[in-house]
Amino acid sequence: MARTTPTGGGNRTPVPVKVGRSFGDIMKALFAFLALAALVVGVPFSLAVLIGWPLPRTMPSLDTLQNEISTTVFLKVLALFVWIAWAQFTACVLVEVKAALSGVGIPARVPGAGPSQLLARQLVGMLLLISASAASFVPGIGGIGGAFDGGGSAQVVAEAERTPGGAGGGGGGGHGVEHAFRTDGGGTEAEPAMALPNEAAGAEDSAEAPTKFYRIQPPEGRHHDTLWGIAERHLDDGLRYKEIYQLNKDRVQPDGSKLTEASLIRPGWILEMPADAHGGELVELPHDVEELSQDEAEEFRDYQRTGDTEWPAADAEPEPGPGTGPEQAGIAVPELGLAPEDAGGGPSLPAFDTTPLQQLPDGDAAEQEAQAAQEAGDEAGFGLPEALLGAPLLAAGLLMALGRTRRNALWASAAGTLTGRGVGDDLAPTTPAAHDVRDALLVGAAPEAVGFLDRALRRLSAALDAEGKVLPPVYAAWLTGHELHLQLAAPAGRPPAPWEPGQSDTYWTVRRDRLPAAGAAGEAPDAEAPYPGLVSLGVRDDMRLLLNLEAVPGIVSVTGARADREAVLASIAAELATSGWADRMTVSLVGFGGELTALAPTRVRYLDDVAGLLEVMETETNLRRGALRHTGQESILTGRTGPARQQQWAPHLVLIGAVPTAEQADRLAALAAVSAQLGIGYLVTSDRPDLPGIAWEFEISDAGVLTEPEMGLELTAQVLPAAQRAAVVELFAELTREPAGGAAGVPGPAFTVDLSQRGKPDVYAQVMGGYEITGLSVPDAERGEQLREALALLLLHREGVHPRVLGSALWPRGVPDDVRDALIERLGGWLGRDATGAPRLLVAEDGRLSLAAGVVSDWDVLRTLHHRAVSVGGGTAAERKRQLTDALSLARGPLLAGVREGGRFGWLEHEIVDAQYPLLVSEIALKLSAEQLASGGSEQAYVAIRSALAASPTDERLWNELLRSAKATGKAEWLRGAADWLIAHHAHLYGPAQALPAQTEALLDELLPGWRSTVGAAG
């Protein structure tokens, strides 16, 4: 259940972290400064003055080594060890200072310097804690709304207990929460919740309904009345919200509106309550008429007339309220375009800020629904991992990160730093599991949703900055296909356009069609990512919940079976590692998922245990608190706008898979009590229900349902099971791993062309420099573009293409299965059969589509020739030159030039071929140039380089080789012409103000002295 730091017996109360700067802090900082000065400066100065140079100035002979050790020699030996210890300690100080100033979390470990680094860390921490000039560079976060004010730790913890998910003292359930959130004046009581926008709650059937009424209270801070909360307080069971809803449905309220949606209740409305309702806030009429004003009494009378009951006489039996069978409990969400629930959907649970609620099936119905959805998904997915198909943001992040890793591997191959790989090799997955995962990423990824989320948040930050306002604290976001809803921790007024107020004053909403389209002017504002800690938890009714981990006032806990909770943790870790709506951040994985560092080595770090984490986080917590004080920032959100954003206020999100000890749990709770101020978030997965400091506690079921009962949250969880996690990691790891097999240690392409006469293809496609197909009839004009695009996809993926990948490539916005299957059937008919009667479109047992060997492209031929001439290097010099010349002649220009406009071939953005093609052409040209120069063909070398520049115009290696080959011809006019062309070409690409690369300038100085004056005169 959701709770804050327990205070009752049996639970451990965390030790608060001090937030005030005392005289002791100042003295500690002074001591740290003197100690660092003495150790870093005083020690080498003393050694230099008193001992001098400790090493012998000449190489000692064997006789010297046999002499007795004098006092001077002994002192110099000791001095040498002191110098080594000083160097190690100084390195530790530099590492700790760098980590503190960068604000990205865990510092690197200096080998063999455990005690020295610990001492350095403590001294640097004490110094930077009090030093305004240094600590101003450390990122931090401020309070969530009014929940944190920078006061003492006791006040921080007390305020945290009034945040959503907190409960004071006592036992669980609604009563403990009720006391924790009761206002001083006895007014509104708030319920910890995480609400799905535009939904609400109610109560179950009631057999008796005395005429008791409740007036919906105005919001108190960030807490709002909900039907669930009212049922929880006055009926002792939030699930009975339907009784209240049915008693008041469609009745005219004092403001003239009606209760038609259980989610849409407003302050000032009157609700008739069931007979067994209790509590001092209720009004029972007509007995309490004398306690009301005349206007209030008239409002209650008018509202009573809209219902089916009359005020009973004193001796009359109360009439029962209207029945509320399950068939009447459907809840619609029209503003979000969601269809009403089917009858009998089951009870709802309250959600996040208690304003809206969501209806969810419970019990066996939920499990049956999840199982049916899983079975349907398996059938529709052709065996692809459903967890990734249903995680569009995670899939998009992984796909973008995979693209970066593949490009890095490709460039490393071109530079020769990745042994056993060549630029012409396949970078496709090598195992069936990895292949399935890659296909699931291609199908499930929604890069446009990531772009919408990123643009919307950055535009909000930029607009608030322009208005001189700070970012409001945000607990969560709800993302649909058309809208983004931010759930604020407290009301923050009206948002800047195009954002609009939501259904309550703690919601801001923006529609996708109100934002400038991607690529439009101003669509990428100059703003930091304001909420990088948002991460997907799951979905409900096509709405995806993203929790802002860095804003949680305490620890987030996930309980359940070990495999299930680790699947949740892995999904969160992978999405944080690759999210496209974040800038810098540190993600620390503790006792779990060390292999996930392969997804983003610069962002994700791994620690073995909680002890090592606490050692670092206690220092970092102090540093970040000091940074906020000394920079005058009230929160990390204020630091992410305006001039301060240049200091990179990066979050540090800690995901703990290890179970802490009792002492470690107390220390962790103390840190988490103030973590929301500091841009630090903690998520723990454990089977221990008694961990202190927990703000929100989620439970994952074996059916994949994630619930937080006290927040009324129930979602289909986003997970990354162990098998799929391993396959995802394999996708990344195999790109940097030396491959096995292959001639000369280089595997080469999986598909090679038979270049002999008997290997003449039936169908030949030219994809380099344009797109031309020979050997096939002209397709139907109406279907031709789709068929040609589908063929191009298959030609660039000789290993096979999953039908769903083909469908998502040709119809990025989605396509019905029958439409996709019809295209595949037409494609097979268009490709036809070869001379033996075999089909040219092949279908494997797993459903993947591939082309027969008789369907060949010039790209296949180019890679085959490159592998034979460069990677294998077989044959004579003449044979190699012929193969390289033939290969270079195929590179007529950019890949698929002239057909990529008009919205087609967008799938190429996720392909490596666009980066591989120019590198492959460059390598062929460089190899051919070297062969020609070795045999005296300098002019042929020059022509080869000029030809390659048409396909690879930005390769600096070709620029330099162009100058060298022109010089080798001995023709001054060729060299001057090459230099003039190169300078003009560079200015065209990067602008005249951009200087040439350093190596190119140096080469020009060597080969053509005086070229600068020639360029200046021409300019």
Q: pLDDT digits over 674-712, tens only?
A: 888 788 999 999 877 778 888 889 999 999 999 988 777
Integer Cα distance of 463 and 497 in angstroms: 8
Mean pLDDT score, 206-211: 49
Tokens of 362: 């419970």
Do residues 357 and 329 make contact, with C-beta atoms less than 8 angstroms apart?
no
Residue 400 clears pLDDT 90, i.e. is over it: yes
* Confidence label for 648 from pLDDT (cuts 50, 70 and 90): low
Residue 151 clears pLDDT 50, i.e. is over it: no
Do residues 517 and 452 make contact, with C-beta atoms less than 8 angstroms apart?
no
Where b means 16+ CB within 10 Å and e means fewer, 700-711 reads bbebbbbbbbbb
* Confidence label for 193 from pLDDT (cuts 50, 70 and 90): very low
Comparing 199-208, 348-357, 467-476, 958-967, which segment has the lowest mean pLDDT? 348-357
Count of beta carbons in the 10 Å neighbourhood of residue 291: 9
Residue 428 clears pLDDT 50, i.e. is over it: yes
Residue 279 clears pLDDT 90, i.e. is over it: no
217-268 pLDDT per residue, tens: 876 654 567 787 888 888 888 778 888 888 888 888 887 778 876 656 778 8
Do residues 498 and 515 make contact, with C-beta atoms less than 8 angstroms apart?
yes
Integer Cα distance of 629 and 142 in angstroms: 10
Residue 166 clears pLDDT 60, i.e. is over it: no
In this structure, what are the phi and psi dihedrals at residue 344, rounded to the nearest 5 degrees?
Answer: 75, 25
Residue type, 663: E
Candidates 176, 570, 508; CA nearest to 353 is: 508
Residue 852 clears pLDDT 80, i.e. is over it: yes
Residue 81 clears pLDDT 80, i.e. is over it: yes
Integer Cα distance of 574 and 396 in angstroms: 11
Candidates 863, 882, 961; CA nearest to 920 is: 863
Higher pLDDT, 189 or 555: 555
pLDDT, mean over the chain: 76
Candidates 131, 144, 140; CA nearest to 630 is: 131
* Confidence label for 178 from pLDDT (cuts 50, 70 and 90): very low
Alpha-carbon Rg for the chain, nearest whole angstrom, is: 35
Checking phi first, is residue 756 left (phi over 0); if not, alpha (psi -120 to 50) or beta? beta
Share of the chain above pLDDT 90, in %: 33
Helix (H, G, I), strand (E, B) or coil at 220: strand
Helix (H) or strand (E) holding 556: strand 555-560
* Confidence label for 23 from pLDDT (cuts 50, 70 and 90): low
- Of 89-93, 131-135, 180-184, the range with the highest mean pLDDT is 89-93
Structure confidence at residue 623 (pLDDT): 86
Structure confidence at residue 128 (pLDDT): 66
In this structure, what are the phi and psi dihedrals at residue 29, rounded to the nearest 5 degrees?
Answer: -65, -40
* Confidence label for 24 from pLDDT (cuts 50, 70 and 90): low
Residue 548 clears pLDDT 70, i.e. is over it: yes
Pairing of strands 586-590, 555-560: unpaired
Tokens of 893: 């220009």
In this structure, what are the phi and psi dihedrals at residue 707, rounded to the nearest 5 degrees?
Answer: -130, 150
Count of beta carbons in the 10 Å neighbourhood of residue 502: 23
Integer Cα distance of 410 and 421 in angstroms: 9
Structure confidence at residue 210 (pLDDT): 56
* Confidence label for 89 from pLDDT (cuts 50, 70 and 90): confident
Q: How far is CA 616 from CA 35, 122, 323, 621, 671, in A?
A: 21, 10, 59, 9, 11
* Confidence label for 102 from pLDDT (cuts 50, 70 and 90): low
Residue 421 clears pLDDT 50, i.e. is over it: yes
Checking phi first, is residue 476 left (phi over 0); if not, alpha (psi -120 to 50) or beta? beta
Structure confidence at residue 832 (pLDDT): 93
Residue 639 clears pLDDT 80, i.e. is over it: no
> What pTM was computed for the model?
0.68
- Of 133-147, 580-594, 677-691, 1002-1016, the range with the highest mean pLDDT is 580-594
Do residues 552 and 147 make contact, with C-beta atoms less than 8 angstroms apart?
no
Do residues 671 and 589 make contact, with C-beta atoms less than 8 angstroms apart?
no
Q: How far is CA 131 from CA 33, 38, 675, in A?
A: 10, 18, 21
Number of C-alpha atoms within 13 angstroms, CB side, residue 763? 25
* Confidence label for 307 from pLDDT (cuts 50, 70 and 90): confident
352-361 pLDDT per residue, tens: 443 333 333 3
Spacing of C-alpha 900 from chain mean position = 29
- Residue 526: CB partners within 8 Å, gap ≥ 6? 462
Specify the long-range contacts of residues 1008-1016, CB closer than 8 Å, at least 24 apart: 1008/963, 1008/975, 1008/976, 1008/979, 1011/979, 1014/976, 1015/983
324-336 pLDDT per residue, tens: 332 322 222 222 2
Candidates 788, 791, 813, 817; CA nearest to 804 is: 817
Structure confidence at residue 223 (pLDDT): 58
Comparing 140-144, 393-397, 605-609, which segment has the lowest mean pLDDT? 140-144
Per-residue DSSP letters for 485-509?
EEEESS---PPPTT-EE-SSTTEEE
Do residues 855 and 762 make contact, with C-beta atoms less than 8 angstroms apart?
yes
State the greatest distance between any 2 C-alpha atoms of the chain, in Å, as a whole number.
122
Tokens of 54: 């400790």
Tokens of 206: 């009631």
* Confidence label for 156 from pLDDT (cuts 50, 70 and 90): very low
Integer Cα distance of 693 and 560 in angstroms: 19
Structure confidence at residue 589 (pLDDT): 96
768-800 pLDDT per residue, tens: 988 999 999 988 888 889 999 999 999 999 999
Structure confidence at residue 197 (pLDDT): 62
**CA end-to-end span of the chain:** 73
Peptide bond into 498 cis (omega under 30): yes
Q: Which residue has the tokens 């569009």?
A: 392
Integer Cα distance of 341 and 542 in angstroms: 12
Structure confidence at residue 110 (pLDDT): 76
Tokens of 1015: 């360029």
Integer Cα distance of 107 and 92 in angstroms: 10
561-576 pLDDT per residue, tens: 999 999 999 999 999 9
- Residue 59: CB partners within 8 Å, gap ≥ 6? none
Share of the chain above pLDDT 70, in %: 75
Structure confidence at residue 76 (pLDDT): 76
Residue 214 clears pLDDT 80, i.e. is over it: yes
738-772 pLDDT per residue, tens: 766 544 455 678 888 988 888 889 999 999 988 99
- Of 76-90, 103-117, 171-185, 934-948, the range with the highest mean pLDDT is 934-948
How many residues are recorded in the chain? 1019
975-1018 pLDDT per residue, tens: 999 999 999 999 999 998 899 999 999 999 999 888 887 654 44
Integer Cα distance of 64 and 53 in angstroms: 18
Do residues 3 and 162 make contact, with C-beta atoms less than 8 angstroms apart?
no
Residue type, 399: L
Candidates 733, 739, 753, 735; CA nearest to 795 is: 753
Mean pLDDT score, 25-54: 80
